[in-house]
Structures are given as structure tokens and as C-alpha cells.
Structure 1
Amino acid sequence: MRLSLLALSAALILQPAFADNISDLQKYLADTKTLAASFNQVVRNKNGKQEQSSGQFALQRPGKFKWSYSKPYQQDIISNGQSVWLYDVDLAQVTIKPIGKALDASPAAILTGSNNLAASYQLQNLPTRGGAEWVALTPKSKDGSFAQIRLGMVKGQLERMELDDHFNQTTTISLQQIQRNGGLNPAQFTFTPPAGTDIIRE
């Protein structure tokens, strides 16, 4: 009986260590007006095969962002808050979509959209892992691309994202050289296709 009481007391004491992760994340998003960083991305499939890429991104809330892959292929994903351009440099092709159709439950939608995460996601506090405080976001809609998204914060700064899709793939994104609430050039959040670019509208 004594051991049971000790275990219960320990559980209650340890619980606050990650009990406020959700509110910390919501406050972080609410206080973020602009964000820029470089990133490394690793996609792992169910067989353990990996694909790596890297690049830079910048965003201005609400709705504006530029997500640029520099390796292994140069690709840009740009939003002005109404439309999204997906530009493949090597193919000289751009696909234009309305922002709601393009983002789904993506990291860009979370970082640039509404602070009311609970409206679209089931939120769950997770224990500390790898030096980060984690929140799991499970989309309430089953029609999206992702089964679950996990966001990891280190010392109050969002540094890691993990995304599980419905094909048993996990995408891990780590952020470096983070600049928050600094000045950004608004011209980067619009896109004019270069001459000769194939344009696809959806």
C-alpha cells in the first residue's frame, strides 16, 4: 500500500514536467509574427529507406510563407495568403492551388494558420524526448495527408517537427539558425513564373 501511494505521488509530481506543453506551443504560435530558419528534412519509409533534403523557409502570419528546397533538387513552395505556388526549377513547372486545398494539415498550415489548434486537431502532451518538449497533433479529419504531427520545442523555441503520413512514412524536420519576429522582405511571398514555365492550375 505504501509503495502504491509513493508511486502515485511520484506520478503526480512528474506530471507537470510536460503538462503545459500544449499551452506553451499555443503561446509560442500566438506570439510569432514572423519566423525564418534553415532546415534539414529526412523522410523514412516503413522499410527504413531514407531521403534527405535541406533548404530555408520564411513565414509571416497569417498565411504567407516561402519554403525553399536547395538540395537535392531546387523547389519552392510560396504562399501570399490566398494562393500557393509549387515551383520545380528543373522541370520549369509551377502548380498553382488555392491555399486551403494546398496546405492540408502541413507544417505550414500549423505555423501560419489559426492559433486555435484544438479546432482541427486532438492535442496531446508528450514526455520530454531528445531534449525537446513535445506536443502531438492528430487531425480530426481523416481526409488529410497526415495521421499525426509532433512538434518539439527546445527552451521555448520550436526546433523539431515529425509527421506521420498514411503510407507509414515519417518526415523529420529539424530547424537551425532560427530568427523569430525579425524583419522579412514581403516580396518573397509572391511568385511570378519565369518565361517558358509550364503553369498548372488546380
Structure 2
Amino acid sequence: MSYNENYSFPNPETSDNQGLLFIGGDLTPQRILQAYSQGVFPWYEPGTPILWWSPNPRLILLPTEFNISHSLQKSLKKPFKFTMDTAFSQVIMACATNPGRINNTWITQEMIEAYTHLHRMGYAHSFEVWYENELVGGLYGLSLGRAFFGESMFHKMTDASKIAFYYLCKTLAEWNFDFIDCQIPTHHLQSLGAKIIERREFLHMLHLSLQHPTKHGLWNIF
């Protein structure tokens, strides 16, 4: 799908101090894809207008720079099974109902429907971690060019979300992806190897990544 200038957003440099760029609009596939192509993403709570953000600074992780801790190394030796794009609906629902986020989730029903639609179109993807045939961890995000935009992850077993993130990085590194957009800086993601960069540098990296074709459709195990 080509990007449509009718869905274009203001210059990200015009966002406020918190990174808020635009209020309103909708969550059609065209608008969401246009937003991500400009370094913008939706983030809002139920009952409020759709808020579109382009924060400065930005958090990214290079797929080859994932930090594997000693405890994670031990967890990786357990008999987990890893899959991609086999349980997208289960993953996004698990992220939306993650403990501690139930009463204040930004993954609204409207967001679930929008990203599920993008999954069916081949732009949104899920990474799943299974233990004894039970889904115990996972994440989902969006792919454009050689950039992956991480949205949310969950776990029901210790380190299961980190294992999903590890396999995400391993897969994207093998596919020569440039970076994972982690959006807003957090200590947790920084402990996994993510780094803070200025928005201007992020937008330049994104521009270069979008020069490459999008790996479109269902993703299969490497």
C-alpha cells in the first residue's frame, strides 16, 4: 500500500515538549501506515480523542545489540517454543489485559481492531512464546521497510516477554533490519540494549530504512 499525502501529519519537529503532535483523525490502515512512515504513533486512553506522538528523544534497539543477561541465558535453555504470526489476536489481547494495565490500557478495542486489520494486510506481526502448548509470552508490532515498530509485549512466565524480544532481534538481524523503534525510553528496554537518540537522528534512520521494500505478508520461522 502506498502512502497517501491526504493522511500526512504535521512536521514532527512541531510536537510539544511531551511529544504530542496531533489530536483526532482515525485509525484507518492508510492513516496508521502514514503515521509510522513519518515517525508518528497513536497512544491514547479510552474515552479520549486519538493522540498522535513523535517524542524527542526516541528509544531504538539495533537487532544485533540485544543484551542477553545471565538469567535470560538460563531461561533460554528451558523447553520454550517460538512462533511468528500464529496467534496475533491472542497476543494483542494478552497485551491489552496485562496485569497492572487493565484499568488504564492504551490498547483500546479500536486499537485492537485496527492492528488486527493491519495484521491481516501483512504489516503487523506477532512473536509468540509457548510452554507446554500454552501461550506464555509474546509481543506485536508493525513493519515498514527495514524498520520494526514495537508496540507492546506480555508475559505469564518469568522472562517469557524477554525471550520473545530475543527472538524478534535474532530474526530481524538475520533479515538485515536496521532498527527496532521502542518509542519512549524505559529502563527495562535500555537494560536489553536499547539506546536513546535524538528525534532528528531517528527520522533520518527511518527515512533510510523506508528506501527498502517492506517484508510483507505472514512471517514464517527462520
Q: TM-score, normalised by structure 1?
A: 0.24
Q: TM-score, normalised by structure 2?
A: 0.22
Structure with higher strand content: 1
Larger Rg: 1
Structure with higher helix content: 2
